[in-house]
Structure 1
Amino acid sequence: MAVRVALLAAGSTAVGRDPQFDRGAPLGETARASVRAAASRVPRTPTTLTAPSPRCRDTAAELGRTALVEGAIDDWDMGRWRGRALAEVAAGEPDAVAAWLGDPAAVPHGGESLLALCERVGGWLDRLADPAPAGRVLAIVEPAVVRAAVVHALHLPPPAFWRLDVRPLALTELSGRAGRWNLRLGA
């Protein structure tokens, strides 16, 4: 039997327009209102999971969902870069940023490599589906986790991760079994 996994990217935080490595900020009031407005399009599922981050837990709460915290779908560990702006890190450590962007196994920040992120998230997906009772699961996660799940599910090369954009509150649906996943577009 197949399992359907709906991955919902958490609501946004008020960190500004410049890309930065997440610092664990909660949802702001505007984002909370956006989550409540989107609630009707989020599928009802018997199981709702959330990543441990404050904004994922806040998103679940604003949706009115009781969610189990699942560590395997935690955000990408950025080590000592956490909470810093990408421009700041690139200015101070240009070679490290180039290595991080160019080599999926690189961990110049001392956290988790892109390969490790994709393996962790892929392992979670496969455990969820093997053996799986037929059913649906909603997982509220950070955008990097959605991207890693799609890379794993479609057997994409790891650098494809950088070509996937995930907006706040984007819904991505995967269905299948361990080792064989389908991406449902236009949900």
Structure 2
Amino acid sequence: MLVSPALNPALREARFDGDTPLDPSGARAARTAAPHLPAADRYAAGASARCRATARELGLGAPDDLEVAPAGWQLGRWSGLRLDEVAATEPEAVAAWASDPGAAPHGGESLGELLDRVGAWLDAGAWDGGSGPPARGVVRLLAVVEPAVVRAAVTHALTLPPTAFWRLDTGPLTLTTLTGRPGRWNLATGRPLAPAGAARGEG
């Protein structure tokens, strides 16, 4: 089970990997969503401030006690910039990045590398990090991860072409559930964890 983080200033402004903490509105939305979170056997969070803060506000425990989930997309020198800013100064680089899964004009991680990294974590996590199925039935893992990680996990699990990544949207504080095993995943995606408006910090 994958949960996307609450909104923060960077997500509101559509900044590349702008890792800023949750603002009061985002923290409040996560606390509102907490009672709607399904139970799990293991809990994890990405390394970003917003993922770990969201996990804390959701009541998953102290960040240092959680397993480490994949970090967000590593976008090199574009990190912290807005898409419209980069598109205005580097239009050809942005076009290559959006059309070629192997392109990394920002000096960071290509889409293909992101998909491989998240896919490897997903397949390993299916068996509790071991080499075979769990000894006692299904192990439920719940991880708070960046939207790009959710989209990469879905792309990998359903063996979609890399270009499908760009057609997937992941809203704040939504639950995406993958069940099954490597090579045979089933998907339930985009379930809100709170009433309409709460995930956006309204009310």
CA deviations on 1:2-29 (whole Å, 9 max, x unpaired) are: xxxx100011102375422022101110
Per mean C-alpha deviation after superposition, the further-off stretch among 170-179 and 123-132 is: 123-132
Q: Pairwise mapping of residues 6-17 of structure 1 onto structure 2 (< 5 A)?
A: 6-15=1-10, 17=12
1-side partners of 2:59 and 2:35: how far apart? 11
Query: Does the CA contact (< 8 Å) of 2:175 and 2:189 recur in 1?
Result: no
SS of the residue aligned with 1:135?
coil
One-letter code aligned to 1:162: W
Q: Which amino acid aligns with 2:6?
A: G
Q: Alignment RMSD, CA only?
A: 1.5
Structure 1 runs of 4+ off > 3 angstroms?
15-18
Structure 2 equivalent of residue 3 of structure 1: none
1:186 and 1:121 map into 2 onto residues whose CA distance is: 19
Task: Pick closer, same or farther for the CA change 1:153–1:76 going to 2, 3 Å.
Answer: same
Report Cα offsets for 1:33-59 as digits up to 9, x if no partner.
Answer: 000111111111121100000000001
- Tell me by how many angstroms 1:114 deviates: 0.5
Task: Determine if the alignment matches structure 1 residue 62 to structure 2 residue 57.
Answer: yes
1:153 to 153, 157, 165: 157
What TM-score, normalized by structure 2, do the two folds share? 0.85
Given the alignment of the two structures, is residue 181 of structure 1 paired with residue 185 of structure 2, yes or no? yes
Please tell me whether residue 132 in structure 1 is matched to residue 133 in structure 2: yes
The Cα shift of 1:185 comes to 4.7
The residue type equivalent to 1:32 in the other structure is A
Paired amino acid for 1:118: L
Give the Cα separation in 2 of the matches to 1:121 and 1:153.
10
Aligned residues: percent identity? Answer: 52
**CA separation of 1:46 and 1:55: change in aligned 2, threshold 3 A:** same
TM-score in terms of structure 1 length: 0.92
Counting matched residue pairs gives 181
- CA distance in 2 between partners of 1:84 and 1:151 (Å): 25
Secondary structure (helix, strand or coil) at the match of 1:80 reads: helix
Contact 1:52–1:69, Cα closer than 8 Å, also in 2: no
Unmatched segments (≥5 aa) in structure 2: 192-203
Output the CA distance in 2 between the equivalents of 1:100 and 1:170: 26
Give CA deviations for 1:76-103 in whole Å, capped at 9, x if unaligned. 0000000001111111111100000010
Cα distance in structure 2, aligned partners of 1:59 and 1:185: 19
Give the equivalent residue in structure 1 for 2:109.
112
Correspondence 1:41-56 to 2 at 5 A: 41-56=36-51
Distance 1:106 1:121, change over 3 A: same
Alpha-carbon separation, structure 1, partners of 2:153 and 2:27: 25
